[in-house]
Structure 1
Amino acid sequence: MPTSTSRRRLIKGAGLAGAAAAATTIAAPAIAQPEPTVRWRLTSSYPKSLDTIYGASTLLSKYVGESTDGRFTIDVFAPGEIVPGLQALDAVQNHTVEVAQTALYYYIGKDPAFAPFTTLPFGLNARQQTAWLYHGGGIELQNAFLAKHNVIGFAGGNTGAQMGGWFRKEIKTVADLKGLKMRLPGIAGQVLARLGLVPQNLAGGDIYPALEKGTIDAAEFVGPVDDEKLGFNRVAPYYYYPGWWEGGPTIHFIANLKAWNELPRHYQAAFEAAAAYANADMLAKYDARNPAALRRLVAGGAQLRPFPAEVMDASYKENTALMAEISAKNAEFKTIYDSMLAFRNEEYLWWQVGEYPYDGYMIRARTRG
């Protein structure tokens, strides 16, 4: 029969063993679940040769992959490798690919309400467009609209103010626009159609052959960096500005909504952060590269011309009328346009006090040397 001392030792030992067992049960970590492996395909509306704009897609892929330790990867494809450039939206909608890089105003044939999220004629400049999207209600309006088309959108770049394009002949009056066949996408094409121009919607890689063969008489794309790469100066000498139809157009990444919703939240966060970086990086690259490209184009014979005031005023008048007509027929477009217009008017209150006087003075100072 155990003594009282041995009984105490037995009880104490049992208690310690039980406590240790309980502690082991409580402290044992849950078995870590492996991170899912996700592989997406991205189709771009822009050729690889335009590394500033197409490069935003490769940046997106790079940073998504790196921030998820390679578990969420995005393979990037140029136009024609999966679908043609202007079928990017359709490919995302029907889940041929999970994501695309494109400009939403390419799809106004489906609904004109796509356009404002890229840009509208006489719309917002690059900084204002970004401010409207991020802090003026633009993204909320955008994704409520895009959800009806089974996609979600992310600002993924901005070109800054664009050029007015390359013309085979000089444009001195509104009459010179009549019958002119010009590559000009979006609502701007409808504006100039009211002045007699014949707009054509061509993907970036298809523009030069059409201009070279005379299928079109004029073309615009972005600005000096891309226009130089595309070689427009070799077939059309007159280079007009400003591109009043694209004061600050946003390039988007659009993802299939179902595929997006299936992503783990931290993969979504990685995507959003990478898109935001690409958005800022594209504009910075264009701003850094355009001056030297413009110098080279002019040195090579390009003849810079401002659009005549008559053409600008006529275009502004027709655009105002067209916006009112579209708004009267399309309530969703009206809601989006009214939001953008109110934001633009408020922004220029500040611009005329801060930005414009400073830039104007510095331009004059540069001219004086």
Structure 2
Amino acid sequence: MDRRHLVAAVAGGAAALAAPRLASAQPRIRWRCPSAYPKSIDTLFGAQEVVARRVSEATDGAFQIQNFGPGELVPALQVMDAVAAGSVECGFTSSLFYTGKDPALAFGCNLPFGMSTRHVWSWLNQAGGREMLAPVYRDLGVRAIPAGNTGAQMGGWFRKEIRSVEDLQGLKFRIAGLGGAVAQRIGVVAQQIAPSDIYPSLERGVIDAAEYIAPYDDEKLGFGRIAPYYYYPGWQEYSSSNDFLVNPAAWEALPAPYRAVLEMACTDAWHWSTARYDFLNPQALRRLVAGGTQLRSFPREVLAALYRAGQELYTDTAARNPRFKEIWQNWDRYRLEQIQWFRAAEDPLANFLAAATSR
């Protein structure tokens, strides 16, 4: 070996010895993440587990997020409050549970008669949705990263058949977010109840009906044993987005590479949860129907009444809340544009295939 090669080899070896291993070079961070969803709901709770797993994998275990079920650290419907107060560094929930704080939070999830999963994702990430929502979350003391979506939901479980708008008068219905405010306008008595409390409330007769998510999760919670009529479509949540909330101080203390990793992990969880629901729901619906569930579609007059009530609610809310108005106008323009595009691009083929393959 000549002198030049010897010097290069020694220098390279010294550099290798001086360079610390990646894991030891990174700060070790531990966050606690309470959830609004029971651990038994392995799709929604599973989404936050995806976030934690991806973050750990990408940082060689240096950044750890420990997940907790409802009540283990904070109650299910107080996750946002705990994150804002700094009691925990982060949390996993849906903004629809907090529309009483600011109705504009509804856009962080979805509005009744809103957009599909694909439309929501593109509005949030391509049409400026996240930028418009950031001040809403900031004023409530949190930072939000979209981290899950249920896809299309079902309309809910009912003890009796719904044949007309009159059948909804006085009906005690567990329905969250603005869906409850819309339903109230046509005579429903809306109840917001934490997911883990829905079954006992339905069993004791505290409520007459309940919507939750879709067949896979609903089957696990056993609603069909009490309320035999299962209605579609899920007008109240065409798709439902969930947020990974972060305390602003915790976010600022997070190294920039960790922030990027967290954003990517949340994106992964969003698409993981949507794909998982698409895989599991058809199988669960077949099992439910085979087990005696009575599948029903809402009458057109009921959907039309609910749609009118929704448009009236949004107009009234916009008149009182300038920020809601600004976001709603942007959101609704985008919704209508997407409806027209899909009417030409996808709906005709989807309808043809549904008819051609019906048995």
Shorter-chain TM-score: which interval? over 0.9
Where do 5+ consecutive residues of structure 1 fail to align?
Answer: 1-19
| Aligned amino acid, residue 74 of structure 1 | I
Q: Does 1:185 align with 2:176?
A: yes
Paired with 2:28 and 2:246, the residues of 1 have a C-alpha distance of: 18
Paired with 1:158 and 1:357, the residues of 2 have a C-alpha distance of: 25
Paired with 1:215 and 1:205, the residues of 2 have a C-alpha distance of: 14
Name the residue aligned to 1:259: 250
Which of 64, 71, 80 is residue 80 of structure 1 equivalent to?
Answer: 71
Q: Does 1:137 align with 2:131?
A: no
> Per-residue deviation at 1:28?
7.8
Name the residue aligned to 2:111: 120
Name the residue aligned to 1:4: none
Which of 45, 50, 56 is residue 65 of structure 1 equivalent to?
Answer: 56
Across the aligned residues of Structure 1 and Structure 2, the Cα RMSD in angstroms comes to 1.7
> Per-residue deviation at 1:59?
0.8
Q: Does 1:327 align with 2:318?
A: yes
Which of 194, 207, 213 is residue 222 of structure 1 equivalent to?
Answer: 213
Paired with 1:102 and 1:35, the residues of 2 have a C-alpha distance of: 29
1:352 is paired with a residue of what secondary structure? helix
> Per-residue deviation at 1:349?
1.8
> Per-residue deviation at 1:82?
0.4
**Greater shift in the superposed pair: 244-253 or 226-235:** 244-253
Paired with 2:346 and 2:193, the residues of 1 have a C-alpha distance of: 35
4+ runs of 1 displaced by more than 3 Å?
27-34
> Per-residue deviation at 1:145?
1.8
Which of 188, 202, 205 is residue 193 of structure 2 equivalent to?
Answer: 202
Paired with 1:138 and 1:274, the residues of 2 have a C-alpha distance of: 19
2:295 is paired with a residue of what secondary structure? strand
* Alpha-carbon displacement from aligned partner over 1:235-285 (angstroms, at most 9, x marks no partner): 000000111110111111111111111100111111111111000000000
| Aligned amino acid, residue 217 of structure 1 | D
Q: Does 1:343 align with 2:347?
A: no
TM-score (ref. length: structure 1):
0.91
Identical aligned residues as a percent: 47
Name the residue aligned to 2:228: 237
| Aligned amino acid, residue 260 of structure 2 | A
Paired with 1:110 and 1:48, the residues of 2 have a C-alpha distance of: 26
Paired with 2:281 and 2:272, the residues of 1 have a C-alpha distance of: 14
TM-score (ref. length: structure 2):
0.93
2:43 is paired with a residue of what secondary structure? helix
**Which entry has the higher C-alpha Rg, 1 or 2?**
1
> Per-residue deviation at 1:34?
3.2
Paired with 1:303 and 1:161, the residues of 2 have a C-alpha distance of: 19
Q: Does 1:357 align with 2:332?
A: no
Paired with 1:351 and 1:289, the residues of 2 have a C-alpha distance of: 25
> Per-residue deviation at 1:31?
7.7
CA separation of 1:284 and 1:31: change in aligned 2, threshold 3 A: closer
Paired with 1:352 and 1:71, the residues of 2 have a C-alpha distance of: 48
Name the residue aligned to 2:4: none
- How many residue pairs get aligned? The number is 345
Where do 5+ consecutive residues of structure 2 fail to align?
Answer: 1-6
